[in-house]
């Protein structure tokens, strides 16, 4: 094909082009023109934005292929009684680089999922619901309810598995929430995301999407789970219980780890699922939705020199419940008498206080130290064993949404509703 010199405005998406700048040459696919920038995808998979006023020459090497008709793809994705429903909520997996700011923003259309993970559409009838476009740090408890309602509706319409694509920073909050809001479950609800935006060569989105589809179709459990990389390679993902998992690294592909439990399963790129746990919650005949949540719950981190002022502040502002991530087995610095007086005030006001451990692994135990015995003597305080702090925070919202009676809230928090409490811990569950 003969090359010819053209203007930037005449380029089309997918054109293979060569750009010359200051005696440098860049080859790649044209993505878009944005104000004074030309964005191209290099062969390495990375995108670069080139200032137009610095371009000496642009040459078309090969014209891009025309995309498939969108109308046909939409019809295929919106079949009734789908095998899988994908509910998109935003996050990095739905993001591309914003070249104006240099950051990423959730701006990807759901069609793009099928472009970056072509084998996704081979997994049967797939419906896509674009529910919201939010970065996970902006997710609210009311958003968890929206996700739960959409998943419930999709299940009632015949979907055999649900995938929720979301941001990773607070994914373990959302996956915990759905374990209570949708309980019992007749199908898997699979949360997935990515640590790298979809336009980066190192993106983990394509693998996570495909393996989540395998999980949604074939995982035997009826529970809310997370499907993300198990290691830095793309060979397999872990399937983790949604309310016993945590994001443990800011950027690694294998950031999510199981807490006080082994992974439920491995899912491989060939579709094979290897069950690893005897604690998988079996599918029930019908899914039940309980969308009652009380958002007026606060989370406090215990620390040396902590006083009772923060507890008093929340009580004075009429908080309905608190979770304290305490040290070790659930200790608080009781030598500071303001802590003791604040706990007494919370007891008098009937404000439930849930104690978890900031050690992350292990369980609280109110009988080990004298200070713990003193704390556990308060009628409004409940220790929740090996429940993670994030899950306890979400569960207290759920408990208060279903009852304002202190004894009933304590009973709900102490009862194992969806596998969030595990009585027996094993040596090889630590730092998996």
What residues are annotated to the active site?
A: 92, 168-169, 247
- The rounded distance, in Å, linking the Cα atoms of 179 and 116 is 29
Backbone region of residue 233 per phi and psi (left: phi > 0; alpha: psi in -120 to 50; beta: other values): beta
Q: CA-based Rg of the chain, rounded to a whole angstrom?
A: 25
- The rounded distance, in Å, linking the Cα atoms of 367 and 376 is 8
Token couple for 339: 């802590």
Q: How far is CA 316 from CA 345, 380, 403, in A?
A: 10, 17, 21
What secondary structure, in 3-state letters, does 323-346 show? Answer: EEEEECCCECCCCCHHHHHHHHHH
DSSP string for 31-97: EEEETTEEEEEETTS-EEEEEGGG--EEEEEEPPPPPPPHHHHHHHHT-SS-SEEEEEEESGGGEEE
Using the structure block, give the residue that is written with the tokens 């970056």.
Answer: 116
- The rounded distance, in Å, linking the Cα atoms of 125 and 121 is 8
| Upper half-sphere CA count for residue 96 (Cβ side, 13 Å) | 21
Backbone region of residue 431 per phi and psi (left: phi > 0; alpha: psi in -120 to 50; beta: other values): left
The pairing of strands 16-21 and 24-34 is antiparallel
């Amino acid at each position: 094909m003969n090359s010819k010199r053209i203007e930037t405005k005449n380029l089309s998406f997918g054109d293979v082009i060569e750009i010359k700048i200051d005696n440098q040459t860049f080859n790649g696919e044209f993505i878009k023109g944005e104000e004074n920038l030309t964005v191209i995808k290099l062969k390495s998979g990375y995108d670069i934005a080139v200032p137009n006023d610095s371009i000496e020459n642009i040459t078309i090497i090969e014209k891009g292929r025309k995309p498939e008709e969108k109308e046909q793809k939409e019809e295929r994705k919106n079949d009734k009684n789908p095998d899988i429903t994908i509910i998109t909520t935003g996050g990095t997996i739905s993001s591309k680089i914003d070249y104006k700011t240099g950051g990423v923003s959730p701006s990807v259309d759901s069609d793009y999922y099928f472009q970056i993970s072509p084998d996704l559409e081979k997994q049967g009838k797939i419906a896509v619901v674009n529910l919201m476009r939010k970065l996970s740090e902006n997710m609210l408890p009311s958003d968890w309810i929206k996700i739960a309602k959409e998943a419930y509706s999709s299940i009632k319409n015949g979907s055999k598995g649900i995938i929720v694509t979301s941001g990773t920073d607070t994914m373990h909050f959302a996956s915990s929430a759905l374990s209570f809001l949708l309980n019992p479950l007749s199908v898997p609800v699979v949360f997935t995301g990515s640590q790298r935006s979809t336009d980066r060569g190192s993106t983990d989105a394509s693998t996570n999407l495909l393996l989540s589809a395998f999980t949604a179709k074939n995982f035997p459990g009826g529970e809310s789970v997370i499907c993300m990389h198990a290691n830095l390679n793309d060979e397999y993902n872990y399937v983790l219980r949604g309310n016993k998992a945590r994001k443990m690294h800011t950027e690694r592909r294998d950031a999510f780890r199981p807490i006080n439990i082994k992974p439920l399963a491995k899912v491989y790129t060939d579709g094979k699922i290897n069950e690893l746990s005897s604690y998988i919650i079996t599918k029930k005949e019908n899914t039940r939705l309980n969308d009652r949540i009380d958002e007026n719950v606060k989370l406090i981190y215990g620390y040396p020199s902590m006083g009772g002022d923060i507890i008093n502040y929340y009580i004075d502002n009429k908080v309905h419940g608190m979770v304290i991530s305490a040290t070790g087995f659930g200790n608080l610095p009781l030598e500071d008498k303001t802590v003791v007086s604040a706990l007494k005030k919370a007891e008098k006001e009937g404000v439930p206080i849930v104690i978890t451990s900031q050690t992350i692994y292990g369980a609280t135990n109110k009988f080990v130290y004298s200070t713990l015995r003193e704390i556990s003597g308060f009628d409004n305080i409940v220790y929740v064993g090996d429940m993670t702090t994030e899950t306890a925070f979400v569960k207290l919202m759920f408990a208060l949404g279903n009852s304002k009676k202190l004894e009933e809230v304590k009973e709900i928090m102490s009862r194992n509703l969806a596998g969030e409490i595990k009585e027996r811990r094993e040596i090889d569950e630590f730092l998996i």
